[in-house]
Amino acid sequence: MAKYLSFLLLFILLSGCSQKEKVVEVIDGDTFKTANGERVRLLGINTPELSEPGGDIAKDYATLLLLNKNVELKGDVTDKDDYGRLLRYVYCEGRFINGELVRLGYAETRCYPPDTFYCAKLKELEKNAIRNHRGLWAFRVFQLPDTLPGSGHKRTNFGKKAISWRDAGKYCGQIKTVVGRIVASNNTGRVCFLNFHRNWKKYFTAVIFSSDYDKFPPNPEDHYLNHRVRVTGLIKEYKGKPEVILKSPSQIEIID
């Protein structure tokens, strides 16, 4: 009963705390600017950076949905992010834009507590997009959640093809098994970084987002530190360095 009342109260707050703005610029697939100068970041989703594969496609679709249109903005618990952007659920012409981008495969779900009001709905839309290979899910742009390469293959199928973490940058856009030792780690509360070199700005990193923390051992930054591991996933380039996003503990195995 208490859980239901809390949910009802949050729903009332979300319904009552909304504002309407005109979109004058779409910055990328999940960020835009309003006529009053505010930058808005869509809650509960993530699209590729413009420098990443699919980033231009996600931006083009967001532009089609939003540019020069009046939108309704609804908040959750957190008002702004660390960059000063409003965090909002966005509605336009009867469409839930956050959900629409996920439904058609131009965005993946990425919810950070405590802003999780629509998380279950977005995850369901994501499952359908993955199942039907919609949008960017038809290509190797997003890491499949709770799934290893080939949708069902076991890790042992990839062990013989393991590569060194030093060579990970050569395989961006490919699903590989990477072997190395976690020599440094950092948990910001929202993201946990497992670094294979102390110069984390340049070398390979495995990344766990807080929305997936409950799937992993407590304090993953300590659990995997100083261990030799085998990591399997889609290698992506982010800010000039290779990384793998871990959405399931089955993607990382301690081997020492």
Q: Please pick, among 49, 100, 126, 243, the residue that the annotation labels catalytic.
A: 49
pLDDT at res. 42: 98
Q: The domain containing residue 215 runs over which residues?
A: 149-254
pLDDT at res. 145: 81
Q: What is the residue-level pLDDT of the chain in tens, covering all 256 positions?
A: 544 444 444 444 454 456 799 999 999 999 999 999 999 999 999 999 998 999 999 999 999 999 999 999 999 999 999 999 999 999 999 999 999 999 999 999 999 999 999 999 999 999 999 999 999 999 989 998 865 444 443 444 444 589 999 999 999 999 999 999 999 999 999 999 999 999 999 999 999 999 899 999 999 999 999 999 999 999 999 889 999 999 999 999 999 8
d(C-alpha 222, C-alpha 210), whole Å? 15
Q: Among 68, 103, 138, where does a domain finish?
A: 138
Using DSSP's 3-state secondary structure scheme, residue 250 falls into helix
The answer to whether residue 82 sits within a structural domain is yes
Output the domain CATH number for residue 43. 2.40.50.90
Q: Please pick, among 38, 52, 72, 85, the residue that the annotation labels catalytic.
A: 85
pLDDT at res. 153: 38
Q: Among 138, 170, 186, where does a domain finish?
A: 138
pLDDT at res. 256: 84
The answer to whether residue 144 sits within a structural domain is no
Q: Among 105, 138, 171, where does a domain finish?
A: 138
| Count of domains forming the chain | 2
> Is residue 72 flagged as an active site residue?
no
> Is residue 49 flagged as an active site residue?
yes
pLDDT at res. 233: 95
Q: Please pick, among 21, 38, 41, 93, the residue that the annotation labels catalytic.
A: 41
> Is residue 190 flagged as an active site residue?
no
Cβ atoms within 10 Å of 115's Cβ, excluding its own: 18
The answer to whether residue 66 sits within a structural domain is yes
- Which are the contacts of 39, defined by CB distance < 8 A and separation ≥ 6? 27, 31, 32, 33, 83, 84, 85, 86
d(C-alpha 248, C-alpha 16), whole Å? 36
| Predicted structure pTM score | 0.82
